[in-house]
Chain A
Amino acid sequence: METVETHAALIIPMFNEASVIDAVVRRARSNFSTIICVDDGSSDDSADVAAVAGAVVVRHPINLGQGAAIETGFAVALRNRSLTHFVTFDADGQHDVSDALAMVERARRESLDCVLGSRFLGEARHLPAARRLLLRGAVKFTAITTGLTLTDAHNGLRVFNRKSAEQMSLRLTGMSHASEILSLIARHGWTYAEHPVTVSYTDYSRAKGQKGYNALNVLFDLAVNRVRAIA
C-alpha cells in the first residue's frame, strides 16, 4: 500500500496546464492528501480540471508570475495548522511525486528546514545541452552570491518546514523566485540538504518552459532586489 502523507501539502503553481494537470494531481493524490493548486490567471480551465481531480484550487484574479503563485500557495497552506511541511511542485509533469515523498520524510528524519531537489545528484531525462550549461552557470552564480554550494540551483521541487515557510517572503514574482529562495536560505540560516530527484523533460514541458534568455531577466531582478535590500 502506498504511503499517504497527511501532514505535508504540495503547492503547485499553474498557468494554462489544463492538458496535464489532471494526471499530475491524480498521481500526487496517491501520496499526498492535500494538494494546493494556485491558478495564476489561466485562460484555459486549469482551475476546474485541478478541482475535479481533487486539488484545493486558489485563483489569482490576474496573472502575477510563478513566484507570486508560490507565495500565495504558502499563504493558504500555512492557515492549515495540521500541516508541518510544504512542497513546491511543478504542474507540467516534470517532477516525480515519490521524490517529493522521500524529501518530506528526509526533512522530518533529519529535522531540516529545507530539502532541495537536485537533478544532477539524481537524473535529468532528456535535458537539452544548452539548458544543462545554463543550469551549471546558475550553480556558480548562486555560490558567488549566496555562498551556498549546490549541485542544482534552479529546481522547483523543494520541501520546507513550518519555520522556513513562515519566514518565507518572496518579493520577486517571476521565475527569479527559485534564486530568491536560495538567498533567503543563506540570509536566515535555514538548515538544508540536497536530495537526488528525477526531472523529466517532455516535448510539452520543453515547448512550454522558460526560454534560456530569461536567465538574464532573472539576473536583473536579483540585482535590483539586492540594491533595494541595501537601501
Chain B
Amino acid sequence: MIIRVLLLAGLACAALTVMRGRTTALSLLMGRSAALLAIGVGAIAVLAPDLVTFVANQVGVGRGTDLLVYVMAVVFLLTTLALYSRAAAARHTTVTLARRIAVLENRLLLLEESDQQAHTR
C-alpha cells in the first residue's frame, strides 16, 4: 500500500532532521513552504472532506480521518525533533557565551590584581 511508503518516507525525513545540525537557507525555505502547504491542504480538507476520503482510499487507507491521524503523527514527530535540535543548538550558544564571560572576568581579575601590586610597590 502506498501509504506505507509515504509514512516511511516521512519518518526517514524525521531521521535526517535529527542528523542535520545547521539551519541552512534551504532548510528554512523548506520549513516555510511545508507550513504554507499544510495550511493550504488544511483549508481544502475543511472545505471538501469527501476529497480527503478519496485521497485516503487512493493511498490504501479506509477513512479520511485515519489518513489525517497518520499525517499528524509524522508531522508531530518532525516538529518535535526540529525543536529539540534548535534547543540543543541554543544551549551550545549559551555555553560558549557563558564560558567567554567566565574567561574574560578571570583575565580582568588578573589584570586588576597585577595593577594593585604595581601600585603598592
Contact = CB atoms under 8 A, between A and B. Distances in A.
Contacts, number: 44
Interface residues of A, number: 20
A53 to B, nearest CB: 16
Interface stretch (B18-26, B45-53, B59-67): B18-26
Contact of A72 (B18, B21, B94, B103): B103
Contacts of A56: 106
A60 B106 contact: no
A62 B91 CA distance: 12
Interface stretch (A144-152, A196-204, A223-231): A223-231
B64 to A, nearest CB: 36
B20 A64 contact: no
22 contacts: A38-B102, A58-B102, A59-B102, A59-B105, A60-B98, A60-B99, A60-B102, A64-B94, A68-B98, A68-B99, A72-B99, A72-B103, A75-B99, A75-B103, A76-B103, A76-B106, A171-B92, A173-B95, A224-B88, A227-B19, A228-B21, A231-B20
Interface of B: 18-21, 88, 91-92, 94-95, 98-99, 101-103, 105-106
Given A224-B88, A227-B18, A231-B21, 5 more contacts: A59-B106, A62-B94, A64-B95, A64-B98, A75-B103
